[in-house]
Amino acid sequence: APQIRKMLSSGVCTSAVQLPGKVVVVTGANTGIGKETAKELAQRGARVYLACRDVEKGELVAKEIQTTTGNQQVLVRKLDLSDTKSIRAFAKGFLAEEKHLHILINNAGVMMCPYSKTADGFEMHIGVNHLGHFLLTHLLLEKLKESAPSRIVNVSSLAHHLGRIHFHNLQGEKFYNAGLAYCHSKLANILFTQELARRLKGSGVTTYSVHPGTVQSELVRHSSFMRWMWWLFSFFIKTPQQGAQTSLHCALTEGLEILSGNHFSDCHVTWVSAQARNETIARRLWDVSCDLLGLPMD
Ligand SMILES: NC(=O)C1=CN([C@@H]2O[C@H](COP(=O)(O)OP(=O)(O)OC[C@H]3O[C@@H](n4cnc5c(N)ncnc54)[C@H](OP(=O)(O)O)[C@@H]3O)[C@@H](O)[C@H]2O)C=CC1
Ligand SMILES: CC1=C(/C=C/C(C)=C/C=C/C(C)=C/C=O)C(C)(C)CCC1
């Protein structure tokens, strides 16, 4: 089993880049892939903000990272991506206390939750996974530009292959399937990354989307079938530390700027679905997202 797991979990971030003086935000950093990503960035000397909806869980993890890495600059701030007020409050606080932002890792995510809505009435998957991160990125973009060279990593999924952007049913009100809702939101992550890359050309800010692999984590919490699958095959799927490698590769590896907008898996550029390469859909999703969030369509 360890050999098979090793085979299935290829892709290791080999960058030796150190991060003293650099500032990083990781969303959903209190567990799973986000926690391991934050730990490695702290190990390399960055000041790391754990942006978590549960501050108590975040504080426990911050202590653990401080102890294991010896880096005391690991800070927890409240961020609930299912509430635009919380996102705005996080951004306001961050912009007031930090002069720079060098790396933003949009990692948090929900999968297969029963039909529910965010505080602002968005369907939960599209609301948290796409719109929440879309708003957060917009609010932090000037800071990222001022701190260039800087990077944005959007954690998407192989599951985007099953995704479609149904503009007439973006909030799942006409029909809803929890599995597909997740896939749609992960497709939105890739479309956002590509459109963002086009708009940021020449700014010194680059962006990448990532499939972390199939990873042992709490993501399957809403589906007993998925929990059972993950348990049954637990010897073969990636550990969270292995799952963090592609996010780390995109955040750290030197010379990656030329690949801005690309999708990565196992630390390599990988192909995406035809939908995910459609510039018209990407532009329309951008405009619709701005409209829903009350952002100017620039
Ligand atoms: N695990 C896998 O096999 C795969 C994972 N991914 C992606 O990787 C990313 C990380 O997932 P993973 O580590 O596996 O899953 P986990 O469930 O272990 O971690 C998800 C994180 O997101 C946070 N989160 C959920 N909802 C919100 C919210 N409303 N506001 C703020 N934070 C929130 C969770 O916080 P809390 O603990 O409070 O719930 C948690 O910290 C996700 O984007 C996922 O889609 C992609 C492909 C495969
Ligand atoms: C079929 C199969 C597997 C593959 C599961 C996959 C490919 C899951 C993908 C999940 C994603 C992409 C989730 C989040 O985004 C396992 C569990 C390895 C074990 C062997 C049987």
Beta strands in the chain (DSSP E): 23-27, 47-52, 74-78, 103-106, 150-155, 205-211, 263-265, 268-269
Kindly give the number of the ligand 1 atom that is closest to the alpha carbon of 129: 43
Mean pLDDT, to the nearest integer, of 267-283?
97
* Shortest-distance Cα residue to atom 6 of ligand 2: 214
Give tens-digit pLDDT for 117-138. Answer: 999 999 999 999 999 999 999 9
Q: Buried (b) or exposed (e) across 253-275, using 16+ Cβ within 10 A?
A: beebeeebbbbbbbbeeeebbeb
Phi, psi dihedrals of residue 174, rounded to the nearest 5°: -85, -40
Q: Tell me the β-bridge partners of 104.
A: 25, 152
* pLDDT in the model for residue 234: 87
Which are the catalytic amino acids?
182
H or E element in which residue 234 lies: none
pLDDT class for 235, splitting at 50, 70, 90?
A: confident
Structural domains in the chain plus CATH codes: 2-293 (3.40.50.720)
Maximum average pLDDT range among 1-15, 220-234, 259-273: 259-273
Kindly give the number of the ligand 2 atom that is closest to the alpha carbon of 233: 19
> What is the distance between the alpha carbons of residues 50 and 59, in angstroms, rounded to a whole number?
9
Give tens-digit pLDDT for 68-112. Answer: 999 999 999 999 999 999 999 999 999 999 999 999 999 999 999
Mean pLDDT, to the nearest integer, of 10-26?
95
3-state helix, strand, coil in the chain (%, to 5): 50, 15, 35
Q: Is it true that the peptide bond before 149 is cis, omega within 30 degrees of 0?
A: yes
* pLDDT in the model for residue 86: 98
84-89 contacts, C-beta under 8 A, 24 or more apart: 84/118, 84/119, 84/120, 84/132, 84/135, 84/293, 85/119, 86/53, 86/119, 87/132, 87/135, 87/136, 87/139, 88/135, 88/139
C-alpha distances out from residue 128 to 61, 82, 87, 150, 189, Å: 22, 5, 11, 23, 11
* pLDDT in the model for residue 8: 64
- Residue 237, ligand 2, Cβ within 6 A: yes
The answer to whether the CB of 22 falls within 8 A of the CB of 46 is: yes
Phi, psi dihedrals of residue 104, rounded to the nearest 5°: -115, 120
- Residue 129, ligand 2, Cβ within 6 A: no
Would you say the C-alpha torsion 140, 124, 122, 290 has a positive or negative sign? positive
Mean pLDDT, to the nearest integer, of 165-183?
97
Residue 166 in tokens: 């149904």
- Residue 84, ligand 1, Cβ within 6 A: no
